[in-house]
């Protein structure tokens, strides 16, 4: 990601943002990496896609991309879902020279909404998250100034209380996604609306995870080889989504047969349900690699 | 079950964009609306877009309205996004509005004010009755309106400068003296709001805030969730000459003028807990375009937030964080529409939690029944 010449696509500059904006973003990113899990405020710019559609992730990606990069965009694990397609179209317009891919292994920068790819990312890859709520404490404290103090003091008592109250009311922690996760044993982050399934992937990863919240104007990071621990009690372990059927058998993907991936539940018009991998690239590769196994599985 | 249909991506977007564009053209053989027609004949809407977009570019604001099929939120959003591509070139000095070329100026505080009241164009005293003849307005009749107006203008030239009502009150010691503002103003386009924020950040945020958002919060104060009880000291609408430092000499030069609305509201004196002489308090509102509701609402919120800073917020309109983080139309509209995007994954997670909790609930029920 070296410094690069300015190119000219139509009337907008390379990377859309003006150079000072990109410089500011890179500074915020460096600070975020230096203080894992700390939310760094930055002057988020308005983007030509709406707030809430990934403007935070988009600004981070634009500040990173150079013409030697290969970018992948996923939304709900899919490269062709409407928002991913729209963002990819935007990159093609304002970042000429940048390669596009749908293959996880080929990408240097992956922008994602709501998923971490199933395949473990390498140390030369960056995953950029689109973040609606950057602060895990917002569920217990609406005031931002107070939340900042609580983070500074690593005071997460009210989050623990919320988890405890869940146990009392439901005998189960009800947080489904955006699971509060403690980074490097200090700051608790909102890991963006990824399912609990993806949270363990944050722990001691090889790749760099960057989080951009455009509307809320915060950037934070989970650097490689950093502990990331979902909040849990010693007698109530953290649990990921359960994909077992009523008989306790792990459901398999109807397309590739995988039994170790996060599955989308698809409803048919006739009331039937089918299950398929949400990570489309992983599913496609698995199906290609194991066609025989798949046919035997679907026959079973 | 179709696998592909769920992930229809790029092609669906392309067709949707085409259809949206077709909406402009379908159902009639009339010509495309011209940019300057939007600017001239819908100046209030146009001004609102300039103001909420936070960029005074009349041509692009009109184009944005044309492209967005008349949606002021979308149009303001387009201007904002364009603004992100532009560097900041200079900072203007503080502008006094005495020298504004006024089209309207009123005070609700005094019957007569220095320079006089000037009603100007306002719908305030309009009976909101339809003029059915405007459904089919003849070009000739339309042109005659302007001709008729211009032909009857009085010869007497208007004064070029109107003294401010609040200056007279300051002179009498009824209002606090204006604090000098020599420091750099807070630039909300270059720094995020981290609370507490200076008043310049607050005013800038409201100046490009969404009219309806500001109005709703100000109205909550007017109704009783607060007690500003404002008197409109002065409301002025007009063209303000903008002075910029010359890029080489640094000398101030007039770069053009902007149409804007400015409002100062006067509120009752309050216990400041100090031994200072009691004085009325002020609230200030200003925005691009002719938008009196926005300027008044902003002035009320400025006053209520200052009161909140003095003795702690007692209701939402006195809490700067509550007000300033919720009045931006681009942000709130974006987040509102984002709920239409796929949320398959998070909903799958929600289902997992509910089903697990339900099965535990069921098991407990069974235990209870069995125990009986």
Token pair 């917002």 is found at A138
- Collapsed DSSP state (helix, strand, coil) of residue B273: coil
Q: From the candidates A15, A54, A214, A256, which is the catalytic residue?
A: A256
pLDDT of B28: 74
Mutate to test the interface with B, among A51, A199, A272, A284 (most CBs of B within 10 A): A51
Active site residue A253: yes
Tens digit of each residue's pLDDT (9 = 90 or more) over B66-80: 999 999 999 999 999
- Collapsed DSSP state (helix, strand, coil) of residue A119: coil
Whether the Cβ atoms of residue B301 and residue B267 lie closer than 8 Å to each other: no
Cβ-Cβ contacts under 8 Å, B87 against chain A: 18-20
In chain A, positions 32-71, which contact chain B (CB-CB < 8 Å)? 41-48, 50-53, 55
Task: Report the candidate in A116, A293, A288, A283 with the shortest Cα–Cα distance to residue A198.
Answer: A116
Q: From the candidates A57, A212, A257, A277, which is the catalytic residue?
A: A277
Token pair 């729209």 is found at A86
- Residue B45 pLDDT exceeds 50: yes
- Option in A12, A46, A196 nearest B83 (CB): A46
A124: distance to nearest CA of chain B, Å? 27
A265–B contact, CB cutoff 8 A: yes
- What domains can you pick out in chain A, each with its CATH number? 19-230 (3.40.50.11310), 242-300 (no CATH)
- Option in A44, A81, A215 nearest B335 (CB): A215
Cβ-Cβ contacts under 8 Å, B195 against chain A: 144-145
Mutate to test the interface with B, among A46, A55, A230, A237 (most CBs of B within 10 A): A46
Nearest chain A residue to B13 by CA distance is A82
Active site residue A37: yes
- Extract the tokens encoding B204: 């800038």
Cβ-Cβ contacts under 8 Å, A21 against chain B: 84
Query: Inter-chain contact B7–A81, Cβ cutoff 8 Å?
Result: yes
ipTM of the shown complex: 0.78
Mutate to test the interface with A, among B344, B354, B358 (most CBs of A within 10 A): B344
Largest CA distance in chain B: 98
pLDDT of B87: 85
Query: Inter-chain contact A280–B352, Cβ cutoff 8 Å?
Result: no
Mind giving me the DSSP string for A177-188?
Answer: BS--EEETTS-E
Q: What is the phi/psi pair of residue B233, to 5°?
A: -65, -45
Cβ-Cβ contacts under 8 Å, A17 against chain B: 84-85
A80: distance to nearest CA of chain B, Å? 5
Query: Inter-chain contact A86–B13, Cβ cutoff 8 Å?
Result: yes
Please provide the average confidence, as pLDDT, over all residues in chain B. 90
Cβ-Cβ contacts under 8 Å, A53 against chain B: 334, 337-338, 341
Query: Inter-chain contact B352–A176, Cβ cutoff 8 Å?
Result: yes
Helix H segments across chain A?
19-34, 55-64, 82-94, 144-152, 157-170, 280-289, 291-299
CA dihedral B343, B345, B346, B349 (to 10 degrees): 150
Q: From the candidates A15, A37, A212, A214, which is the catalytic residue?
A: A37
Active site residue A95: no
- Collapsed DSSP state (helix, strand, coil) of residue A165: helix
Active site residue A277: yes
In chain A, positions 152-191, which contact chain B (CB-CB < 8 Å)? 170-172, 174-178
Residues A103, A108, A113, CA angle at the centre, nearest 5°?
70
Active site residue A207: no
Query: Inter-chain contact B9–A45, Cβ cutoff 8 Å?
Result: no
pLDDT of B353: 92
B201: distance to nearest CA of chain A, Å? 13
pLDDT of B155: 64
Nearest chain A residue to B187 by CA distance is A43
- Option in B336, B342, B360 nearest A81 (CB): B342
What whole-number distance in Å separates Cα of residue B293 and Cα of residue A21? 34
- Option in A43, A55, A81 nearest B192 (CB): A43
- Option in A46, A75, A145 nearest B81 (CB): A46
Q: From the candidates A15, A77, A253, A257, which is the catalytic residue?
A: A253
Token pair 């990824």 is found at A194
Task: Report the candidate in B14, B27, B28, B24 with the shortest Cα–Cα distance to residue B70.
Answer: B24
What 8-state DSSP symbol labels residue A235?
T
- Residue B152 pLDDT exceeds 90: no
CA atoms within 13 A on the CB side of A293: 11
Contacts of B188 (CB under 8 A, 6+ apart): A43, B201, B204, B205
Domain-wise residue ranges, chain B? 9-83, 97-123+163-333
Query: Inter-chain contact B13–A16, Cβ cutoff 8 Å?
Result: no
**Average pLDDT, stretch B296-320?**
95
Cβ-Cβ contacts under 8 Å, B84 against chain A: 16-18, 21, 45-47
Query: Inter-chain contact A80–B351, Cβ cutoff 8 Å?
Result: no
- Collapsed DSSP state (helix, strand, coil) of residue B268: coil
Report residue B162's pLDDT band, with 50, 70 and 90 as the boundaries: confident
Whether the Cβ atoms of residue B338 and residue A252 lie closer than 8 Å to each other: no
Tens digit of each residue's pLDDT (9 = 90 or more) over B193-236: 999 999 999 999 999 999 999 999 999 999 999 989 899 999 99
- Extract the tokens encoding B4: 């592909």
- Residue B96 pLDDT exceeds 60: yes
Contacts of B114 (CB under 8 A, 6+ apart): B162, B163, B165, B168
Element (H, E) at B170: helix B165-171
Q: What is the pLDDT along chain A (300 residues), one digit of tens a residue?
A: 444 554 443 467 899 998 999 999 999 999 999 999 999 999 999 999 988 899 999 999 999 999 899 999 999 999 988 889 889 999 999 999 999 999 999 999 999 999 999 999 999 999 999 999 999 999 999 999 999 999 999 999 999 999 999 999 998 899 999 999 999 999 999 999 999 999 999 999 999 999 999 999 999 999 999 999 999 999 999 999 999 998 999 999 999 999 999 999 988 888 888 999 999 999 999 999 875 554 444 443
pLDDT of B5: 37
Radius of gyration (Cα) for chain B, nearest Å?
Answer: 26
Task: Give the whole-number percent of chain B exceeding pLDDT 70.
Answer: 97
Nearest chain B residue to A254 by CA distance is B3
A86: distance to nearest CA of chain B, Å? 7
Mutate to test the interface with B, among A11, A15, A52, A195 (most CBs of B within 10 A): A52
- Extract the tokens encoding A175: 């947080």
What whole-number distance in Å separates Cα of residue B115 and Cα of residue B107? 11
Whether the Cβ atoms of residue A75 and residue A83 lie closer than 8 Å to each other: yes
Task: Report the candidate in A136, A210, A213, A117 with the shortest Cα–Cα distance to residue A175.
Answer: A136
What whole-number distance in Å separates Cα of residue A114 and Cα of residue A63? 21
Q: Which residue has the higher pLDDT, B184 or B35?
A: B35
- Option in B189, B337, B341 nearest A43 (CB): B189
Cβ-Cβ contacts under 8 Å, A43 against chain B: 188-192
Residues B274, B276, B277, CA angle at the centre, nearest 5°?
140
């Amino acid at each position: 990601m070296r410094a690069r010449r300015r190119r000219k696509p139509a009337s907008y500059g390379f990377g859309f943002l003006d150079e000072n904006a990109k410089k500011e973003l890179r500074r915020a990113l460096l600070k975020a990496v230096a203080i894992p899990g700390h939310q760094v405020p930055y002057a988020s710019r308005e983007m030509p896609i709406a707030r809430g559609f990934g403007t935070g992730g988009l600004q981070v990606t634009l500040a990173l991309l150079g013409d030697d990069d290969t970018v992948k965009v996923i939304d709900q694990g899919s490269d062709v879902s409407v928002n991913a397609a729209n963002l990819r179209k935007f990159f093609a317009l304002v970042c000429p020279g940048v390669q596009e891919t749908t293959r996880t292994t080929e990408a240097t920068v992956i922008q994602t909404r709501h998923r971490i790819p199933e395949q473990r990312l390498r140390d030369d890859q960056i995953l950029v998250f689109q973040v609606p709520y950057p602060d895990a404490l917002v569920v217990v404290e609406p005031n931002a100034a107070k939340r900042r103090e609580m983070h500074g003091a690593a005071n997460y008592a009210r989050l623990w209380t919320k988890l405890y109250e869940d146990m009392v009311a439901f005998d189960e922690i009800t947080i489904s996604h955006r699971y509060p996760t403690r980074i490097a044993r200090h700051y608790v982050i909102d890991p963006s609306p990824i399912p609990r399934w993806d949270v363990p992937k944050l722990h001691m990863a090889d790749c760099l995870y960057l989080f951009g919240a455009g509307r809320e104007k915060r950037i934070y990071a989970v650097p490689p080889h950093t502990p990331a621990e979902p909040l849990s009690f010693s007698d109530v372990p953290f649990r990921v989504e359960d994909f077992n059927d009523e008989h306790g058998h792990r459901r398999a993907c109807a397309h590739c047969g995988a039994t170790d991936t996060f599955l989308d539940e698809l409803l048919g018009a006739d009331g039937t349900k089918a299950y398929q991998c949400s990570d489309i690239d992983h599913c496609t590769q698995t199906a290609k690699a194991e066609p025989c196994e798949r046919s035997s599985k679907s026959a079973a | 079950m179709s696998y592909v249909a769920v992930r229809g991506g790029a092609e669906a977007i392309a067709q949707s964009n085409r259809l949206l564009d077709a909406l402009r053209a379908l159902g009639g053989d009339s010509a495309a609306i011209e940019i300057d027609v939007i600017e001239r004949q819908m100046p209030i809407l146009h001004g609102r877009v300039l103001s909420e977009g936070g960029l005074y570019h009349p041509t692009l604001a009109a184009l944005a309205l044309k492209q967005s099929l008349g949606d002021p939120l979308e149009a303001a959003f387009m201007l904002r996004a364009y603004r992100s591509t532009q560097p900041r070139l200079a900072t203007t000095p503080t502008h006094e509005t005495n020298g504004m070329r006024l089209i309207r100026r009123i005070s609700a505080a005094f019957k007569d004010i220095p320079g006089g009241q000037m009603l100007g164009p306002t719908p305030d005293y309009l009976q909101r009755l339809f003029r059915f003849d405007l459904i089919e307005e003849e070009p000739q009749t339309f042109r005659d309106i302007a001709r008729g107006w211009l032909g009857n203008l009085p010869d007497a030239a208007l004064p070029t400068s109107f003294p401010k009502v609040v200056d007279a009150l300051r002179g009498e010691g009824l209002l606090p003296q204006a604090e000098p503002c020599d420091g750099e103003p807070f630039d909300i386009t270059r720094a995020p709001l981290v609370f507490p924020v200076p008043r310049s950040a607050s005013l800038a945020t409201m100046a490009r805030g969404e009219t309806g958002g500001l109005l709703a919060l100000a109205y909550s104060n007017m109704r009783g969730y607060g007690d500003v009880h404002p008197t409109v000291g002065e409301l002025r609408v007009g063209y303000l000459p903008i002075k910029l430092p010359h890029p080489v000499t640094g000398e101030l030069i007039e770069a053009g003028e902007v149409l804007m609305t400015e409002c100062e509201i006067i509120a009752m004196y309050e216990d400041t807990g100090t031994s200072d002489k009691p004085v009325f308090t002020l609230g200030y509102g200003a925005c691009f375009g002719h938008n009196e509701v926005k300027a008044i609402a902003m002035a009320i919120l400025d006053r209520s937030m200052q009161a909140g800073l003095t003795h702690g917020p007692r209701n939402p309109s006195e809490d700067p964080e509550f007000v300033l983080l919720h009045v931006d139309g681009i942000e709130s509209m974006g987040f509102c529409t984002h709920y239409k995007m796929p949320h398959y994954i998070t909903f799958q997670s929600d289902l997992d939690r509910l089903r697990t909790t339900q099965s535990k609930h069921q098991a407990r029920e069974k235990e209870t029944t069995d125990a009986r």
